[in-house]
Amino acid sequence: MKSGYKYVKETFEKHEKAYQTPDWYRGIEYRKGKSVQRIERPTKLHRARSLGYKAKQGYIVARSRIRRGGMHKVRPKRGRKNRAMGVSKYTTGKNLQWIAEERAQRKFPNLEVLNSYHVYSDGKNHYYEIIMVDPNHSVIQNDPKINWICKNSQRRRVNRGKTSAGKKSRGLRKKGWGSEKTRPSIRANKGRGK
């Protein structure tokens, strides 16, 4: 017997991206919106709940738009060897989802980022929905399942790569052989064991 959220998940996994489907209309709405915009409820409810979202006071969802692709460098005007152009194959040190989370944090400085998930892509942008929590809200402070986010050690957690997207970008999904220098951080291990 399947739960209701399982049925919701299946409808999103069909990827109906044809003309005049709900996904098609959603893309039009997203392109008209702001780069970081607060929304009333999550688009993918099953995904939001699996990442810790609850429909109660203190939880906020924001949609963040970020451009696709690598770092767009300006081509030098003067002569260079091809290898010294410094134009193509340049990427950020972070993944785009982490950057989208940081932009949402800047937009809502009194909130903390709990997690995020991908919701839509077109030819130009990625769209992520970011679950944010108000650590000063009494409902959050009195909930034993989420009040860990009220600690001082969780302050600005997204800027220190403590969200799931940040940990993935820092290489912390892997353990054991081959990942000796990723913990506690890459910079902490710089120059060690040459």
User: Averaged in consecutive runs of 10 residues, what is the pLDDT profile of the chain (194 residues)?
Assistant: 89 81 92 96 95 96 94 88 86 93 97 96 96 97 96 95 95 92 89 72
- Report yes or no on 168 lying in a domain: no
Quote the tokens at residue 56. Answer: 């109660």
Q: Phi/psi at 52 (nearest 5 deg)? A: 110, 0
Q: Does some domain include residue 175? A: no
Does the residue 167 lie in any domain?
no
Number of domains in the chain: 1
Q: Is 19 part of any domain?
A: yes
Structure tokens at 40: 């009333």
Q: What is the pLDDT of residue 18?
A: 84
Q: Say if 182 falls within a structural domain.
A: no
- On whether residue 66 sits in a domain, the answer given is yes
Q: What is the pLDDT of residue 90?
A: 84
What is the predicted pLDDT for the residue at 36? 97
Cβ(101)–Cβ(169) below 8 Å = no
Task: Tell me the pTM.
Answer: 0.90
Residue 113 exposed, middle or buried by CB count within 10 Å (0-12, 13-18, 19+): buried
Identify the H or E element spanning 130. strand 125-133
| Percent helix, strand and coil across the chain, each to the nearest 5 | 30, 15, 50
Residue 165 falls inside a structural domain: no
Instruction: Identify whether the C-beta of residue 86 lies closer than 8 Å to the C-beta of residue 153.
Output: no
Q: What is the pLDDT of residue 191?
A: 84
CA 12 to chain centre: 19
Domain membership of residue 148 (yes or no) is yes
Q: Domain of 132?
A: 4-157
The CATH number of the domain holding residue 139 is 3.40.1120.10
Give the model's pLDDT for residue 11.
Answer: 84
